[in-house]
Amino acid sequence: YRNVRSKGCPPGPKPLPLLGCALQVDATQPWLTYTEWKDTYGDIVYCPTFGQDTIVVNSEEMAQDLFDKRSSNYSDRMDASILTKYFGMGHHTAIMRHNDVWREHRRVMQQGLRREPVKVYLPVQLRRAHDLIKSLRKSPTDYCRHVKRFSGATILEVVYDHRVGSRGEEDPILKRISDANDVGVLALAPGNILRLSVFPFLRHIPTWLSGGQLDSAVCRKHMETMVEVPYSELKHKLASGYAAGEDTTGSTLMIFILAMALYPEVQTRAQSEIDSVVGSGRLPSFDDWETLPYVEAVFRETLRWYPVVPLGVPHAASREDVYRGYHIPKGAVVVPNVWAMTRDPDKYHSPADFKPERFLDEQGNLTSDEVDYVFGFGRRICPGRYLAKASVWVAMACILASLRIEKAKDVDGRPIEPKPEWVHGITS
């Protein structure tokens, strides 16, 4: 309970003792509160939470200033030892401190996941996209399961060279990863680490009582099986990365499907572009990527319209710093509010609408905005972004070329308005 103003930190709401600003923030979608605060306090907001200095960055420019230009100071993460110790997440690159083990993880991932080496996986991604549309045609209402299978199977094949069958039968390894992700994503929800650090007894609350969020024993069991089983069964060496990639890739495709159901005119225009460039005799492949600007604009708008990691993964300051006259304390958690960046009215007119045209200039050429900030910043930027982009693009292009996504119809044939239900953890 400190007089924070005297420390010269950025402006922000008045904190309560111990809780700080925790009660003032929407517990499931904190990015909405942070984005509202932008109007009251500005692009950089100080909001200590459970005794932890926390700074929210609401603009892309400031995020680049801090995380990219001063990356030597802003590449740490907060202390998540509670998750490492009790929730079995010691393997997870995304929550590691800025230390030698993390550096080794990044080195290994970078070798295989840079822009060039990642091209060897394109045939796997294309084949998986073909399997996806076959499954979607066979049982369209099961789309959620098919999309999860697509993203999980792609990652498993890339990382472990493990081939999940194409006929939809249950694969035991894929199932383990998927089950572990469902639990892990919730354990990593924004605010959870702080809540658990202050109230460690919460980790003993059984899953059935807490809505599945916090039971550490269940989570640890899932994490251990997810890491150990494929590793020992397949005798390969790389044991991280897929957990971060399965969920984000699948969620992005689910958002694309939602957008296509809600914006049929966008779907029609994308399909006409594919018909005129690719024709109807074959499916699109990676060679067509550059010749389909509208499809690329749909892809970028999908990333922007509903970013699947709305608060990125919070960074932490290794040392104290001064930025634009404000004091940033050592150890402060610095949260890139990606949601606010996607809603910047100066950059994106009517930001709530799905409008791929915003990425095309008057001549129909793509603009330079690739919405890369959804993949994070600086030294911590998502190492899987090239793999993820190719997976999502090829699945989208193949779906557009061969299927029509529509709202379901009621018994009288009237379209039913979709009511999206979000599961909010570290990803949505």
Residues near ligand HEM (CB under 6 A) are: 93-94, 106, 241, 244-245, 248-249, 252, 308-309, 312-313, 315, 374-377, 380-384, 387-388, 392
Answer for the pair 216, 204: CB distance below 8 angstroms, yes or no. yes
Q: By C-beta, is 173 or 387 nearer to ligand HEM? A: 387
**Shortest distance (Å) from residue 297 CB to ligand HEM:** 17
The most distant pair of C-alpha atoms in the chain lies apart, rounded to whole Å, by: 69
- Identify the bridge partners of residue 323 per DSSP, sorted by sequence position: 326
In angstroms, rounded to a whole number, what is the distance separating the alpha carbons of residues 1 and 188? 26
Cβ proximity to ligand HEM: between 257 and 387 the closer is 387
User: Of the two residues 242 and 278, which places its CB atom closer to ligand HEM in the complex?
Assistant: 242
Smallest gap from Cβ 80 to ligand HEM, in A, equals 11
Least spacing, CB of residue 98 vs ligand HEM, in Å: 9
Q: For residue 368, how many other CB atoms are within 10 A of its CB?
A: 6
Task: Report CA-CA distances (Å) from 222 to 89, 190, 405.
Answer: 10, 20, 34
DSSP 416: P
User: CA-based angle 321:309:252, to the nearest 5?
Assistant: 150
Considering beta carbons, is residue 15 or 343 the nearer one to ligand HEM?
A: 343
Q: Nearest approach, Cβ of 256 to ligand HEM (angstroms)?
A: 11
SS3 171: coil
- 382 marked among binding-site residues: yes
284 vs 376, which CB is nearer to ligand HEM? 376
Nearest distance in Å: CB 167, ligand HEM:
24
**Distance between CA atoms of residues 419 and 258, nearest Å:** 10
CB of 404 to ligand HEM, least distance (A): 24
Cβ-based nearer residue to ligand HEM, 278 or 311: 311
Of 30 and 312, CB closest to ligand HEM: 312
The H or E element containing residue 55 is strand 54-57
CA distance 109 to 30: 30
Query: In the structure encoding, which two tokens stand for residue 141, read together?
Result: 């209402």
Cβ 91 vs Cβ 240: under 8 Å: yes
Nearest to ligand HEM of 46, 306 (CB atom) = 306
Q: Nearest distance from residue 121's CB to ligand HEM, in Å? A: 10
Q: In the complex, what is the shortest distance from the CB of residue 304 to ligand HEM, in angstroms, rounded to a whole number?
A: 11
Q: How many CA atoms lie within 13 A of 320 on its CB side?
A: 8
| Dihedral sign of CA atoms 205, 78, 34, 306 in order | negative
* Cβ–Cβ under 8 Å, residues 403 and 260: no
Q: Least distance (Å) from ligand HEM to the CB of residue 392? A: 6
Question: Two tokens at 352?
Answer: 């709530």
CB atoms within 10 A of CB 276: 9
User: Nearer Cβ to ligand HEM, position 278 or 400?
Assistant: 400
Q: Which is nearer to ligand HEM, 85 or 106 (CB)?
A: 106
Between the CA atoms of 157, 96, 339 and 366, what dihedral angle is there, to the nearest 10 degrees?
-50
> Cα(275)–Cα(185) distance, rounded to whole angstroms?
38
Q: Least distance from C-beta 373 to ligand HEM, angstroms? A: 8
Total residues belonging to the chain:
428
> Which residues contribute to the annotated binding site for heme?
382
> Which residues contribute to the annotated binding site?
382
